[in-house]
Amino acid sequence: MTAPPHGPRPDDYALLLLLGLVFGSTYLFISLGLQTIPPITLAALRAFVGFLALFGLTLAFGHAIPRDLRSWRTFALLGFFGGALPFTLMSFAQQRIDSSLASIIITSMPLFTLALAHAFTDDRASPRKIAGVLIGFGGILLLLGPAALRGQSSSLVGQLLYLGVALSYSVMAILVRRLGGGSGTALSRTACSNAMATLMVVPLAFLLEQPAAVSPSLNSIIGVLGLGLLSSTLGQFLVFRLSATAGPNFASANNYLGPPVGILWGVLLLSEPITWLRIAAMLVIFAGIAFATTRTGTARLATR
């Protein structure tokens, strides 16, 4: 998708703030869901609710569902790395770490994407990109270090699982670049990928847990609806809208808005601690991403 000819409009900035609020609330919803719902069952419910909502939107907007086998093979891969695997890892991880810490760790995704793009696509890393990635991973080490030094194995495992989430989403981004997203519109492709994620994780929940025996609390129901309708549906819809009207780079700026929102909800609603170390680590990660993804004045001039 190419960037639009004109810069972002005022309403694009409003939608970007809404997108940051939606994605930044994901970690709160997971914590609420886990209060009375087992982790795989929560991932399955998230995928299923998102599947219903996304397909409803696809049909409401009159978008055709792709029928070719090649597209559905792509949807299966995207559904696994963009849905089934990260949804499950997030649930298990947040049994061990709080939501505000999770919202910081997920910011490592662009760093993994840069590294994987260098290895598996024609987007070769420049010395500047490599330096930015190293800076960003330095911020991640700031987060992992205290838990490792203090022998807090549960916290360390949770943080490593969330790094797995970031890596999984990065693999999905690389697959989209190498394979394309399949036929159909962006909305219909996302709906189909979510359908494949649902087909993967729902049977797993019935195999390893007992979803039918779950008696969710009101908080957990709110968590499931928030994950399925806001994080998986409204969030994706806003990404499509902003990518079309203001360009994908503008839409990706929500990565900088989500973590502060996640921290805010964790502190205000879940009484989670916030430390200067976490703030410092987040800023170091942001600095690495900014350094790796921005071009120097000379480079910008050369591309005009």
The pTM for the full model equals: 0.85
Q: Write down the pLDDT at residue 7.
A: 62
- Across 218-295, the runs of DSSP E, i.e. the strands, are none
Q: Write down the pLDDT at residue 248.
A: 61
From first to last of its 304 residues, the chain has per-residue pLDDT tens of: 444 445 677 888 888 889 889 989 999 999 999 999 999 999 999 999 999 999 998 999 898 888 888 889 999 998 999 899 999 999 999 999 888 888 888 888 888 888 888 778 777 777 887 888 888 888 888 877 665 556 567 788 888 999 999 899 888 888 877 776 567 777 888 899 999 999 999 999 999 999 999 999 999 999 999 999 999 888 878 877 776 677 666 776 777 788 888 888 988 888 888 888 888 888 888 888 787 766 644 343 333 3
- Under a CB-based contact definition with an 8 Å cutoff, are residues 184 and 64 in contact? yes
- Across 183-236, the runs of DSSP E, i.e. the strands, are none
The structure tokens listed for 187 are 């909305």
- Under a CB-based contact definition with an 8 Å cutoff, are residues 192 and 66 in contact? yes
User: C-alpha 72: how far from its chain's center?
Assistant: 22
Beta-carbon count within 10 A of 10 CB:
7
Which class for 7: exposed (0-12), middle (13-18), buried (19 or more C-beta within 10 A)?
exposed
Cα separation, 88 vs 83, in Å, equals: 8
Q: Write down the pLDDT at residue 103.
A: 87
If you ran DSSP here, which 8-state letter would residue 108 be given? G
Nearest to 216, CA basis, from 82, 90, 35, 18:
35
